[in-house]
Amino acid sequence: MYKKISNISERELIEKELGIKYKFPRLYTPSPVIDGTQETTLSVITMNQPDHISYAIWGILPNNYEGEWSDFQKVMNTLNISKESIHSNGIFEEPYRERRCLIIVTGFFIYHLYKGSLYPYHVYLDAKKPFYLAGIYNTLDDGFITCSMLMTEATGIVSKIQNLNATMPILIPEKLNNLWLDPNADQGEIDYILNSHNALELSAHPIAKEFFKNDISYESMLEPVYYEGIPLV
């Protein structure tokens, strides 16, 4: 389960790199650790509003849901959705067809268990620039957007490090972002993106264990911490 991601880019850099602006720019704040268990918001580009960057609560809720986000998450954690679950659960299949989104991040976190201790790793692009993760979303009656991150089999550097699960977020390369958001796209093409490994050139390094307390600075997160016996790639 992926519960924490990172978005450390300044708003101006995100808008420059992605060629799209925030609808409400003053609401954006860079964050080394975004903790999905705390009902937090992510920067997203949605199918119905592809011309600007919106905000979405991390953890999709059914369209007609009227209760508390936290209550639903206690029953069904929807921070991450495996690609196998999309077609086996009705609340995911319809958003996958009709409401896909791009989740903007600068990194995510994986873990390595070694001799009874957990070691966190920061995974990011070589250039340390913002990139897209595949997501689905719903818009509630009050206008709030809720979203989930889509997951696939771990490959590359992620599969070499993490040993607690075999999944990772689905990365969407820039050349496919318009297709992912296209409401008229052939479903076969969308399924191809879902099932292909469009791996970007990712890097990873171990970081300080203050991460587990959400108490790690931007500067500390970028600095590798070397622990004896854990993998370095």
**218 or 160: which carries more pLDDT confidence?**
160
Write down the pLDDT at residue 199: 63
Q: Is residue 148's pLDDT more than 80?
A: yes
Write down the pLDDT at residue 131: 95
Which tokens is 223 given?
Answer: 């600095």
- 3-class SS at 172? strand
Question: How far is it, in rounded angstroms, from Cα 180 to Cα 34?
Answer: 24
Q: Which of 39-48, 52-61, 193-202 bottoms out in mean pLDDT, i.e. has the lowest?
A: 193-202
DSSP annotation of 164: S
In which band, very low, low, confident or very high, does the pLDDT at 198 lie, cut at 50, 70 and 90? low
The helix (H) or strand (E) run that includes residue 69 is helix 69-75
Q: Is residue 125's pLDDT more than 70?
A: yes
Beta bridge partners of 117: 114
Q: What is the mean pLDDT of the chain?
A: 92
Residue among 94, 191, 90, 87 at smallest CA distance from 139: 94
